[in-house]
Structure 1
Amino acid sequence: MPRLTSRHGTSPFIWCAAIICALISIVVIFGGIVVFVGYMVIHPRVPILSVADAHLDLLKYDIVGVMQTQLTIVIRAENDNAKANALFDENEFKLSYEGKPIAILKADRFEVDKERSIYNHYLVQSYPIPLSPTMMQAIDFAVKQDVITFELKGGSKTRWRVGPLGSVKFECNLSCELRFRPSDHIYIPSPCTSAHKN
């Protein structure tokens, strides 16, 4: 009894799809190798954010339990990379007192050249802030001790621009306390940085 055989050729559409997928895979692999080699050659360091200086311009509070304050905060954006510029984006920081938000500090996207730093000055002026009894006790104690503390939290999304090699992304975050002397409004310096240098 004769055997029936069936021969079906592969569709040209399947061949085209396979070739396109193979080409995309090669491009992705090659691109990954190029970025990796570029990273190893350039060996970029993570950009650093830090509080460079600050000043307590105004501090007022009354027996009703309302506080007004104004601060100047200088944040330094540092790029230690010798071969790549750094882009700082989505720059946002929250200033608070005893857990109560006072202000949001924002800056537009900016770029820091190789082995350079940029200083951003933020003038923080609060609206009248109602204080709870606990916060009133805290501010009374701070004035008596001549040290008042504010909390600063936030950061930037950074990336290195490495020409045709693409970019490497990181986040720089700050979480620190800013201390001032109410008697003369002077900032008491303390370490406040997103990273430690190597």
Structure 2
Amino acid sequence: MQQRKLLHRRTSPVIWFIAIICTIVAIAVIVTGLVVFIGYLIIRPRVPSISVTQAHMEKLGYHETGQMDTQISITIKAENDNAKAHATFSDLSLFLSFNGIKIAQLTAGPFDVPKNSSLDLPYFVQSSSIPLAPEGMEEVDASLKRNKISFDLKGDVRARWRVGVLGSVKFWGHMACQLHFFPSNGSSLNPPHCSSRSQ
């Protein structure tokens, strides 16, 4: 008799309620996943990027005492190739250095780039009395002889873009490249090939 009573015992309404809630949540998660996936396939968002579009060495002075003076103009372009996504850039921080010595830091506060658009950020680096180690002095001497001098440009930028139902997506972009100049006239190798976009 006890065994029959156990077999015919009804399921508690609380358990039914929990089961229904779990089923609804599972269906909502599946539907959301499908919407995000289909939206991604339709929109195909591209990662916003930064790149160097122009660089010119206005001045290069070198003294036998191991001091170097330089003035360099650099234009960084923030690009948003998405036709349906607005992008916001922030925490832009790039370091310009020579032979391991940091010359300047290029920064920018948060700024927006509209859909399928770009924004140019002009920088003018003016640095004087850069102390060079013996290795750096040798590098400058060799650069002047071959009429080619190189500077390193490294740093990061944070980007965020909103794509309709996909919501907001954040990520970091990294840049690490060299800018090559001709000391005779200050021009750079064109194009600079300096971008945070994956190659």
Normalised by the shorter chain, which TM-score bucket? 0.7 to 0.9
| Residues 147/29 of structure 1: CA separation in 2 closer, same or farther (3 Å cut) | same
Offset, 1:170: 3.0
Residues paired across the two proteins, number: 195
CA deviations 1:19-73 (Å, max 9, x no partner) are 9888777766654444333222211112232110011122122111111212111
2:172: which partner in 1?
Answer: 171
2:47: which partner in 1?
Answer: 46
1:6: which partner in 2?
Answer: none
Q: Which amino acid aligns with 1:180?
A: F
- In 1, Cα distance between the equivalents of 2:93 and 2:131? 24
CA deviations 1:124-163 (Å, max 9, x no partner) are 1224211001100100111111111001111312222124
TM-score by length of 2: 0.80
| Structure 1, 25-34 or 181-190: larger mean CA deviation | 25-34
Q: Which amino acid aligns with 2:55?
A: A
1:90: which partner in 2?
Answer: 91
2:78: which partner in 1?
Answer: 77
1:194: which partner in 2?
Answer: 196
| Residues 28/105 of structure 1: CA separation in 2 closer, same or farther (3 Å cut) | farther
2:111: which partner in 1?
Answer: 110
TM-score by length of 1: 0.81
Aligned-pair Cα RMSD in Å: 2.9
| Structure 1, 114-123 or 35-44: larger mean CA deviation | 35-44
CA deviations 1:99-141 (Å, max 9, x no partner) are 1111111011112112111111111122421100110010011
1:152: which partner in 2?
Answer: 153
| 2:45 match: secondary structure | coil
Offset, 1:177: 0.8
- In 2, Cα distance between the equivalents of 1:21 and 1:129? 66
Structure 2 unaligned segments of length 5 or more: list them.
3-11
- In 2, Cα distance between the equivalents of 1:150 and 1:30? 51
| 2:46 match: secondary structure | coil
User: Are 2:36 and 2:165, in contact at CA under 8 Å, matched by a contact in 1?
Assistant: no
Q: Which amino acid aligns with 1:56?
A: M
| 1:73 match: secondary structure | strand
| Residues 122/19 of structure 1: CA separation in 2 closer, same or farther (3 Å cut) | farther
| Residues 20/118 of structure 1: CA separation in 2 closer, same or farther (3 Å cut) | same
- In 1, Cα distance between the equivalents of 2:49 and 2:159? 10
- In 1, Cα distance between the equivalents of 2:124 and 2:197? 24
- In 2, Cα distance between the equivalents of 1:27 and 1:124? 53
- In 1, Cα distance between the equivalents of 2:45 and 2:164? 13
User: Are 2:39 and 2:165, in contact at CA under 8 Å, matched by a contact in 1?
Assistant: no
